[in-house]
Chains A and B, each alone.
Chain A
Amino acid sequence: MSSKLDLLQGTLDLMVLRTLVSMGPLHGYGIARRIEQLSQNEVLLNQGTIYAALVRLQNRGWIAAEWGSSENNRRAKYYSITRSGRKRLAEETSYWQRLSAVIGRVLAPSEGGPK
Chain B
Amino acid sequence: MNLGVLWARLKGLVRRRELDGELQKEIATHLELATEENLRRGIEPEEARRLAAVRFGSVASAQEGVWDERGLAGLASCLQDARYAVRGMRTNPGFTLVTVATLALGIGLCSVFFSVLNAFVLRPAPGVSDTGRLVTLEASVPYPYFESYRNQEGLSAGMAAFIGPVPFGVAVNAPADGKPERVFGHLVSPEYFSTLGVAPLLGRFFDPVQESPGAAPTVVVSERFWRMRLHSDPRVVGRALRVNGRQATIIGVGPKDFFGIFPSTPAEVFLPVTADPAVAPELAADILHRTTQPAFRVLVRLRPGMTMAATEARLDAHTREMDQQTGKRGPDRKGRQVHLVLAGLALPISVAERSLVVTFYTLLVALILSLTCSNLAGLILARGSARSREIAIRLSIGASRFRVIRQLLTESLILAALGGVAGFAAAYGLLDLLARVRGDSALLQSEIAFTPDLRVVLFAFLISALAAAGFGLLPALAATRADLAAALKASMGTRRSRYRRFGLRNLFVVYQVAAAMMLILIMGFWSSGLRNGANLDPGFDPAPLQFFSLDPARDGLTPSQSAALYTGLAQRLARLPGVESVTLADQPPLNLTVANRSVSVPSVPAGSRESVHPVAFLSIGPGYFATLGAPLVRGAEFSERDLGLDPAPSDILPAVINQTAAKDLFGGADPLGRRIRQDTGDVERTFQVTGVVRYDRQSLAVNRPVATIFLPLTRKDLRRGSQSGTIVLVRARTHLGDATIRRELASIDPHLTMFNPQTMREFLAATNRVVQSAVAFTSGIGLFGLLLACVGLAGVTAQAVERRRKEIGIRMALGARPPQVLRLVMREGAVMISAGAAFGFAGAYGISRVLAAASAQMAEIIAWSTGDRALTVGVPLLLISLAAIACYLPARRSISRDPLVSLREE
The answer on A and B forming one complex is yes
Chain A interface residues toward B at CB < 8 A: 27-30, 32-33, 46-49, 51-52, 55-56, 58-61, 70, 72, 74-77
B residues near A60, Cβ cutoff 8 Å: 4-5, 8
Inter-chain contact B56/A75, CB cutoff 8 Å: no
* Given A74-B33, A76-B29: A46 touches B56 (CB 8 Å cut-off): yes
Given contacts A48-B27, A49-B57, 18 further A-B contacts (CB under 8 A): A27-B29, A27-B30, A27-B33, A29-B33, A29-B34, A46-B55, A46-B57, A46-B62, A47-B34, A47-B55, A48-B58, A48-B62, A51-B62, A52-B62, A52-B69, A55-B69, A72-B36, A77-B22
Q: How far is the CA of A110 from the CA of B870 in the complex (A)?
A: 90
Neighbour of B5 across the interface among A33, A49, A59, CB < 8 A:
A59
Q: How far is the CA of A47 from the CA of B55 in the complex (A)?
A: 6
| Residues 22-66 of B contacting A (Cβ, < 8 Å) | 22-23, 25-27, 29-30, 32-34, 36-37, 55-59, 61-62, 65-66
- Offer 15 A-B interface pairs, CB within 8 angstroms, sorted by A: A28-B29, A29-B30, A32-B30, A46-B56, A46-B58, A47-B56, A48-B61, A51-B66, A52-B62, A52-B65, A52-B66, A52-B69, A58-B8, A59-B9, A61-B8
What's the nearest-Cβ distance from chain A to residue B472, in Å?
33
Q: Is B744 among interface residues, defined by CB-CB distance under 8 A?
A: no
What's the nearest-Cβ distance from chain A to residue B39, in Å?
12
What's the nearest-Cβ distance from chain A to residue B17, in Å?
16
Inter-chain contact A74/B32, CB cutoff 8 Å: yes
A residues near B22, Cβ cutoff 8 Å: 77
Inter-chain contact A52/B68, CB cutoff 8 Å: yes
Neighbour of B57 across the interface among A30, A33, A47, A77, CB < 8 A:
A47
Inter-chain contact A59/B8, CB cutoff 8 Å: yes
Q: How far is the CA of A81 from the CA of B87 in the complex (A)?
A: 45
B residues near A74, Cβ cutoff 8 Å: 29, 32-33
A residues near B4, Cβ cutoff 8 Å: 59-61
A residues near B55, Cβ cutoff 8 Å: 46-47
Inter-chain contact A59/B29, CB cutoff 8 Å: no
Q: Is B320 among interface residues, defined by CB-CB distance under 8 A?
A: no
Interface size grouping (class) on chain B: 20 to 34
Q: How far is the CA of A59 from the CA of B8 in the complex (A)?
A: 5
Identify the closest chain A residue to B31 (Cβ). A29
Inter-chain contact A51/B33, CB cutoff 8 Å: no
Task: Please provide the 3 A-B residue pairs with the shortest distance between their CB atoms, ordered closest to farther.
Answer: A46-B57, A48-B62, A52-B65
Identify the closest chain A residue to B52 (Cβ). A47
Q: How far is the CA of A75 from the CA of B70 in the complex (A)?
A: 22
What's the nearest-Cβ distance from chain B to residue A75, in Å?
7
B residues near A28, Cβ cutoff 8 Å: 26, 29-30
* Given A29-B33, A55-B70, A60-B5: A48 touches B26 (CB 8 Å cut-off): no
- How many residue pairs at the A-B interface have CB separations less than 8 Å? 78
Q: How far is the CA of A68 from the CA of B32 in the complex (A)?
A: 16
A residues near B57, Cβ cutoff 8 Å: 46-49
A residues near B37, Cβ cutoff 8 Å: 33
A residues near B26, Cβ cutoff 8 Å: 27-28, 51, 76-77
What's the nearest-Cβ distance from chain A to residue B250, in Å?
66
Q: How far is the CA of A78 from the CA of B394 in the complex (A)?
A: 40
What's the nearest-Cβ distance from chain B to residue A97, in Å?
26
What's the nearest-Cβ distance from chain A to residue B41, in Å?
13
Q: Is B12 among interface residues, defined by CB-CB distance under 8 A?
A: yes
Inter-chain contact B69/A56, CB cutoff 8 Å: yes
Identify the closest chain A residue to B11 (Cβ). A59
B residues near A30, Cβ cutoff 8 Å: 33
What's the nearest-Cβ distance from chain B to residue A90, in Å?
20
Q: How far is the CA of A46 from the CA of B54 in the complex (A)?
A: 8
What's the nearest-Cβ distance from chain B to residue A46, in Å?
3
What's the nearest-Cβ distance from chain A to residue B70, in Å?
6
Identify the closest chain A residue to B65 (Cβ). A52
Most buried by A among B4, B12, B25, B65: B65
A residues near B12, Cβ cutoff 8 Å: 55, 59
A residues near B29, Cβ cutoff 8 Å: 27-29, 70, 74-76
Q: How far is the CA of A32 from the CA of B12 in the complex (A)?
A: 23
Q: How far is the CA of A59 from the CA of B11 in the complex (A)?
A: 10
B residues near A55, Cβ cutoff 8 Å: 12, 66, 69-70
Most buried by A among B27, B30, B58: B30
Q: How far is the CA of A58 from the CA of B27 in the complex (A)?
A: 17
Inter-chain contact B32/A49, CB cutoff 8 Å: no
Identify the closest chain A residue to B59 (Cβ). A48
What's the nearest-Cβ distance from chain A to residue B72, in Å?
12
Inter-chain contact B32/A48, CB cutoff 8 Å: no
Q: How far is the CA of A32 from the CA of B755 in the complex (A)?
A: 93
Q: How far is the CA of A55 from the CA of B1 in the complex (A)?
A: 15
Q: How far is the CA of A51 from the CA of B57 in the complex (A)?
A: 12
Q: How far is the CA of A46 from the CA of B53 in the complex (A)?
A: 10
What's the nearest-Cβ distance from chain A to residue B596, in Å?
73
What's the nearest-Cβ distance from chain B to residue A17, in Å?
16
Q: How far is the CA of A27 from the CA of B28 in the complex (A)?
A: 12
0 or 1 for each of B1-15: is its CB under 8 Å from A? (1 = yes): 000110011001000
Most buried by B among A28, A46, A51, A72: A51
What's the nearest-Cβ distance from chain B to residue A61, in Å?
6
Identify the closest chain A residue to B37 (Cβ). A33
| Residues 434-452 of B contacting A (Cβ, < 8 Å) | none
Identify the closest chain A residue to B68 (Cβ). A52
B residues near A76, Cβ cutoff 8 Å: 26, 29, 33
A residues near B8, Cβ cutoff 8 Å: 58-61
Q: How far is the CA of A60 from the CA of B8 in the complex (A)?
A: 8
B residues near A72, Cβ cutoff 8 Å: 36
B residues near A77, Cβ cutoff 8 Å: 22, 26
B residues near A51, Cβ cutoff 8 Å: 23, 26-27, 62, 65-66
What's the nearest-Cβ distance from chain B to residue A106, in Å?
32
0 or 1 for each of B53-95: is its CB under 8 Å from A? (1 = yes): 0011111011001101110000000000000000000000000
B residues near A49, Cβ cutoff 8 Å: 57, 62, 65
What's the nearest-Cβ distance from chain B to residue A64, in Å?
12
A residues near B23, Cβ cutoff 8 Å: 51
B residues near A32, Cβ cutoff 8 Å: 30
Identify the closest chain A residue to B23 (Cβ). A51
B residues near A75, Cβ cutoff 8 Å: 25, 29
Q: How far is the CA of A51 from the CA of B22 in the complex (A)?
A: 12
What's the nearest-Cβ distance from chain B to residue A5, in Å?
16
Q: How far is the CA of A99 from the CA of B58 in the complex (A)?
A: 33
A residues near B56, Cβ cutoff 8 Å: 46-48
Q: How far is the CA of A33 from the CA of B55 in the complex (A)?
A: 10
Q: How far is the CA of A30 from the CA of B26 in the complex (A)?
A: 12
B residues near A46, Cβ cutoff 8 Å: 55-58, 61-62
A residues near B32, Cβ cutoff 8 Å: 74
Inter-chain contact B65/A48, CB cutoff 8 Å: yes
Inter-chain contact A47/B69, CB cutoff 8 Å: no
Most buried by A among B25, B33, B56, B61: B33
Inter-chain contact B30/A47, CB cutoff 8 Å: yes
Q: How far is the CA of A29 from the CA of B37 in the complex (A)?
A: 11
Q: How far is the CA of A52 from the CA of B64 in the complex (A)?
A: 8
B residues near A70, Cβ cutoff 8 Å: 29, 33
What's the nearest-Cβ distance from chain B to residue A26, in Å?
11
What's the nearest-Cβ distance from chain B to residue A49, in Å?
6
Q: How far is the CA of A5 from the CA of B57 in the complex (A)?
A: 17
| Residues 641-673 of B contacting A (Cβ, < 8 Å) | none
B residues near A47, Cβ cutoff 8 Å: 30, 34, 55-57
B residues near A48, Cβ cutoff 8 Å: 27, 56-59, 61-62, 65
Identify the closest chain B residue to A32 (Cβ). B30
What's the nearest-Cβ distance from chain B to residue A54, in Å?
8
Q: How far is the CA of A83 from the CA of B66 in the complex (A)?
A: 24
What's the nearest-Cβ distance from chain A to residue B98, in Å?
44
What's the nearest-Cβ distance from chain B to residue A110, in Å?
40
What's the nearest-Cβ distance from chain B to residue A36, in Å?
8
Q: How far is the CA of A46 from the CA of B27 in the complex (A)?
A: 13
What's the nearest-Cβ distance from chain A to residue B779, in Å?
61
Q: How far is the CA of A32 from the CA of B55 in the complex (A)?
A: 10
What's the nearest-Cβ distance from chain B to residue A70, in Å?
7
